Each structure stands twice: as structure tokens, then as C-alpha cells.
Amino acid sequence: MRALLKTNLKFDWKIVTITVLSTLLLMVDYYYRITPKEWGIVEWKAVDRTILYLLIPLFIILVIFRQKPRDFGFTLGDWRAGITLTILAIILIAPVLWFLARGDASMKDYYKTQVDGLPWNTFLDLLGWEFFFRGWILFGYARKFGPEALWLQAVPFALAHIGKPEIETLSTIFGGFAFGWVAWRTKSFVYPLLIHWFVASFTILVAAGVL
């Protein structure tokens, strides 16, 4: 029995921490509300996600890993490339978003009621979200897996979209990779955040008939 159970498995404790904690944080986000209802905050889910996806990973990076947040993309990085890629992405994505948000009934039904609070509600919602995937997971995995981390971070990102319009969800494995590539190229989660912020806000405005 001892021989049967014997194994030479060795784990990278930081990779294990990132994997397990990321999975649990996504589940907590789905099942629980963190901010008390008594606070009266309308965008409580966005506040929850800032706590779960930004503050908790930063705490782990600083206190447990004893690393600098910039090692996980918490920096402006190559800002010249970042601004160029952000503008280029917006120009290319806008027509596609306009067509989908206007023409797909599921997109219109899902997003047309989310106009109130724009654009800061989407920014707050995506701030932690983008650091979580394009900072914490991407750069955390990159140390061990190199460029493969681009696909690895795109998988939980895509799965976290289940429940949203089908056409959007099916595209997120590729969108997640693209956002990850921008972060990889610029060494920063800021530019995927700016692009994603535009995508979310623009989609809502078009779905609601504002644009």
C-alpha cells in the first residue's frame, strides 16, 4: 500500500495558491454578497468584485508572496504601446459591437437595462475583474508556464461569462486571449481594462438605443 501511494509530485506553492484562490473567489462572487445591504450602495456587485478581484489578490501578492504588484501587471508598463493598442482595438471593435448589440435580441435584452450609472459602474465592475485575469492570473502563471498563460487565464474568464448572451460567451475564449495578449505586450493590466471598459459601456449604450 505504501508503494502504491508513493508519488514524486511536487507543486509550485504560488501556482497552487493562485489556482485555488482564484477558483474560490469566482465561486464566492457567484453565491454571495460581500457588502452589507444596509450600505445602500446601488452598484454593490461592482464593489464586491473590487474587493474579491483586486484587494484580496493584492494582499496575497504583498503579504504572502512578498512580491511587488508591478510583477503582476499593476503598472502602466509600456504606455506608448498600450495607448496605441487601446485606440486600435476601439476602432476595430466598435462596428462589431454596434452590429451585435443592435441586431441580437439576447444582447439587447441583457444590456439595455444597465444604462444607469454609466460609465463609472462599468469601470468599477471591471477594475478588479481585469486585474484578476490579466494581472494576478496571467502574470502569476507566466512565471511558470510562459506564453501558455495567455490561454490558461482565458479559460476561467470564458467560464465566468456563462449566463450572459450566448454569442458573447462563445467569443470570450478568444477575447480573453486577446485581452491577455495586450497585457502581455504592455506588461500591464491597465490597457485591457480600458478596452474592456469601452466594450462594456458601448455595448450597453447601443443595446439601450442611446447610440
State pLDDT tens for residues 137-162.
999 999 999 999 999 999 999 999 99
Asked if residue 18 lies in contact with residue 138, where contact means CB atoms within 8 angstroms, the answer is no
Q: How far is CA 47 from CA 43, 57, 82, 111, in A?
A: 7, 15, 26, 19
pLDDT above 70: percentage of residues in the chain? 93
> Looking at residues 38-67, what average pLDDT do you find?
86
pLDDT at 157: 97
pLDDT at 135: 97
> Looking at residues 39-61, what average pLDDT do you find?
85
Asked if residue 45 lies in contact with residue 31, where contact means CB atoms within 8 angstroms, the answer is no
CA torsion angle for 27, 29, 31, 34 (degrees, to 10)? 130
Domain residue limits, the chain: 12-207
> How far is it, in rounded angstroms, from Cα 48 to Cα 181?
27
Mean pLDDT of the chain, nearest integer: 92
pTM of the model: 0.91
Q: How far is CA 3 from CA 8, 10, 11, in A?
A: 12, 17, 20
State pLDDT tens for residues 92-138.
999 999 999 888 889 988 988 888 888 888 999 999 999 999 999 99
pLDDT at 47: 87
Residue 33's pLDDT band (cuts 50, 70, 90): confident
